Amino acid sequence: MTTLAADLYLLVAAYGLALAVSYAGLPVLGQGAFVAVGAFGTAQLEGHGVPLLVAVAVAVVAAGGAGYVVGFAAARLAGSSLALATWGLAWLVYTALVLFPRLSGGSQGLTRPTPASLTSPSLGVDVVLQPWVHVVVGTVLVVALALVLVRADAGPWGLDWAALRTGPALADSIGVPVQRRRRAVLAAAAALGALGGAGTAVLQGVVAPVDYSPLLSLQLFVAVLVGGTAAWWGPALGIGLLAALPTTADAIASAAGIDPLRARAVLTAVLLVAVLALRAPAGRLVAPYLRRWQRRPPRDPLPDAAAGRDGTVPAGEAPLLALRAVVVEYGAVRALDGVDVELRAGEVHALVGPNGSGKSTALRVAAGVVAPVEGSVRVRGEPVVGTSAAPRVRAGVARTLQRTAMLGRLPVGRQVEVGARARERAPYAGLRHLVAAPSAVRERRERAAATAAALDLTGLTERFAAVPDVLDTAEQRLLQVARAVATGASAVLVDEPAAGMSARQRDRLAGILRRLADSGRGVLLVEHDMNLVGRIADRVTVLAEGRVLATGTPEAVRADPAVARAYLGVPADS
């Protein structure tokens, strides 16, 4: 009974870690540290006379706060640095526990009377926390966590997590608030870790440093890797394997005459190796069966649900996007030297110029990922600042990247849905989805409608369920356009979409970009293919060495002698 309860509490911690590792794709190697905070925090607070439940709550909140602080740093870190930082944290906490007996009770650990009891004369409560009570509490927690994870993964949070996991660099460009989500995920993971630790401490009555060594962090990491990506049953399977580990290890240890703790380490290592070797194939084998009932029915798009929020604006307003006298410097290089570009609703505006003339830089300034040192950027007349793409997307400016960028192997429909998520300005979407609030249901319908509309516009509807691997180059580019359109942006920035496309694919692309503009959006296009530009652009801005050479209709620009000089290298008077 006690062992079962302990395993259930470990599973609570594992679910916390799974949120970070297998849902948000963050390699966290220090969950054991947060479990330790919960366990030692509860024991210490109780030792100082704090009532049991308050002690648990304070320890959990403290760990959650610590996780949030880690998240503050981690939000900016690449995965590898986060792994190093959390692995360092696991060892730091363990070393501190070993070296400071006042904190940890030394190698004997801290003790408390067991079984614990909850007594409140005013409420008439007097419960003795027998092991079976812990089993009930643990089971309730685990079931609740699994349900919440499954439900949340199907909602807006699931979309955000998918973006974090599969394309953190890209997520920003389609409006996912990467840093905020990472902080929240790490805080939740840490709090759940501490909850598991607190439960174990109360259950066992002893908290000793040796049980919270970095090996625990590794074991939890193995446990959540077992199930692969975003699988609610993964942690349960992992902890099940880990639960079988001590008895197996002890049997081996007594048979082989080695230290039981070493035997456990051996088995953990074997398990880790096996998980690494098998995780992809195992996930492929099991997931289809377990996820079948989760797969949503074909959507029923409501064509008018997203009306008014699909990025179209009446003509004649302030320009969608205006760069004024923008100067950008990369070190000593002046990439843009006083550039003006204006994008109006309903037009395709092409930026052309020789390599290195500053086209892509201008696009990045417009998208908010490069900050100008001088000059201003206005979106619909409002000045905007900052170098984060996500707020710019919500302001109505979305772009595609020059290289082909995919959100991992997410199906096409889901990738576009991640983009559609950006148009929701409503707060607490994830929480409202959890409780199935009517507003969340409506938002979900709008999202489905926006996804369907974007897919329709780009001609990808047939490809709804396809994984990106099977798309050709042109379709992958169009998928990027669809994602940008789905964000509800009125200004769509497209960086060299036709590179590597065949003539027929270019025709299709030209038609789609033209349709985008005709629907009332503005398309800012960087493109080398002058044929394509001449066919679809309403206006062309020619850049050379970071300055605007000419702006006007394609015909006017083509006739401009300065352009001919810069572009073709012929003297103007020849």
Partner 1 sequence: MTGGQLLQAVLTGLSLGAVYGLVGIGFSLVWSLTRVLPFAHGDLVVGGALFAVLAVVGTTPVAVSPGAGRSVALVVLTLAFGVVLSVVSYGVAVRPFLDRAGHGEDVLGWVAGGVTAGLVIRTALGVALPAAAYAVPDPLHFDGFTSSGTVTLPGGGSVPVRVFPVIAVGLLAAAAVDRFLVRSRLGRAMRSVADDPDAAVLCGVPVERAVVAAFAVAGLLAGAAALLSAPAQPVGVDDGVVLGLAGAAGALLGRLGSPRGALAGGLALGVAQQVVQVAPSLGAAWSELVPLAVLVVVVAARPGGLRAPRQVAVE
Cα distance between residue 24 and residue 94, in whole Å? 26
Binder of partner 1 out of 198, 401, 416, 526 (CB under 8 A): 401
Residue 365 interacts with partner 1 (CB under 8 A): yes or no:
no
The structure tokens 């249901």 sit at 441
Residue 372 interacts with partner 1 (CB under 8 A): yes or no:
no
Is there a contact between 517 and 531 (Cβ–Cβ < 8 Å)? no
- The site string for partner 1 over 138-177 (x = CB under 8 A, - otherwise) reads -------------------------------x--------
Sites for partner 1 among residues 301-360 (CB under 8 A): 330
Residue 223 interacts with partner 1 (CB under 8 A): yes or no:
no
**Least gap, CB of 86 to partner 1 (angstroms):** 9
How is the chain split among helix, strand and coil, in percent rounded to 5?
Answer: 60, 15, 30
Residue 89 interacts with partner 1 (CB under 8 A): yes or no:
yes
392 or 423: CB nearest partner 1: 392
Strand partners, 334: 329
CB under 8 A, 24+ apart: contacts of 529-538? 529/498, 530/352, 532/498, 532/506, 533/350, 533/352, 534/558, 535/510, 536/348, 536/510, 537/348, 537/349, 537/350, 538/347, 538/348, 538/349
Residue 269 interacts with partner 1 (CB under 8 A): yes or no:
yes
Window of 217-225, 242-250, 486-494, 514-522 that interacts with partner 1 by CB under 8 A: 217-225
**Least gap, CB of 516 to partner 1 (angstroms):** 23
Kind of pairing between the strands at 321-330 and 117-120: unpaired
Residue 572 CB contacts under 8 Å (≥ 6 apart), including other chains: 561, 562, 564, 565
Calculate the CA 115 to chain-centre distance.
42
Residue 412 interacts with partner 1 (CB under 8 A): yes or no:
no
Binder of partner 1 out of 268, 357, 480, 490 (CB under 8 A): 268
Window of 95-103, 118-126, 127-135, 512-520 that interacts with partner 1 by CB under 8 A: 95-103
Strand spans (E) along 195-332:
206-207, 321-330
Residue 554 CB contacts under 8 Å (≥ 6 apart), including other chains: 350, 533, 534, 537, 540
Residue 237 interacts with partner 1 (CB under 8 A): yes or no:
no
Structure tokens at 301: 């798009």
**Least gap, CB of 164 to partner 1 (angstroms):** 12
**Least gap, CB of 98 to partner 1 (angstroms):** 9
Cα distance between residue 421 and residue 155, in whole Å? 10
406 or 512: CB nearest partner 1: 406
**Least gap, CB of 17 to partner 1 (angstroms):** 12
Binder of partner 1 out of 180, 295, 409, 442 (CB under 8 A): 409
Window of 194-202, 303-311, 401-409, 517-525 that interacts with partner 1 by CB under 8 A: 401-409
Residue 81 interacts with partner 1 (CB under 8 A): yes or no:
yes
The structure tokens 């099977």 sit at 470
Residue 467 interacts with partner 1 (CB under 8 A): yes or no:
no
Residue 464 interacts with partner 1 (CB under 8 A): yes or no:
no
Binder of partner 1 out of 95, 254, 473, 531 (CB under 8 A): 95
Residue 477 interacts with partner 1 (CB under 8 A): yes or no:
no
Window of 34-42, 75-83, 149-157, 434-442 that interacts with partner 1 by CB under 8 A: 75-83
Residue 369 interacts with partner 1 (CB under 8 A): yes or no:
yes
Residue 20 interacts with partner 1 (CB under 8 A): yes or no:
no
Window of 24-32, 314-322, 345-353, 548-556 that interacts with partner 1 by CB under 8 A: 24-32
Strand spans (E) along 471-521:
491-495
104 or 541: CB nearest partner 1: 104
- The CA-atom distances, in angstroms, between 340 and each of 110, 263, 353, 429, 570 are 68, 69, 15, 38, 26
b/e sequence 204-216, b meaning 16+ C-beta within 10 Å: bebbbbebbbbbb
**Least gap, CB of 275 to partner 1 (angstroms):** 8
Kind of pairing between the strands at 539-544 and 348-352: parallel
Window of 23-31, 145-153, 303-311, 447-455 that interacts with partner 1 by CB under 8 A: 23-31
138 or 358: CB nearest partner 1: 358
Number of residues in contact with partner 1, rule: CB under 8 A? 52
Q: Which of 492, 424, 427, 425 is nearest to 454 (CA)?
A: 492
Phi/psi of residue 77, nearest 5 degrees: -85, 145
Is there a contact between 181 and 160 (Cβ–Cβ < 8 Å)? yes
In terms of C-beta density within 10 A (0-12 exposed, 13-18 middle, 19 or more buried), how is residue 316 classed? exposed
Structure tokens at 252: 């081996």
Instruction: Provide the binding-site residues for partner 1, judged by CB under 8 A.
Output: 21, 25, 27, 29, 70, 73-74, 76-81, 83-85, 87-89, 91-92, 95-96, 99-100, 169, 214, 218, 221-222, 225, 258-259, 262, 265-266, 268-269, 272-273, 275-276, 330, 364, 369-370, 387, 401-403, 408-409
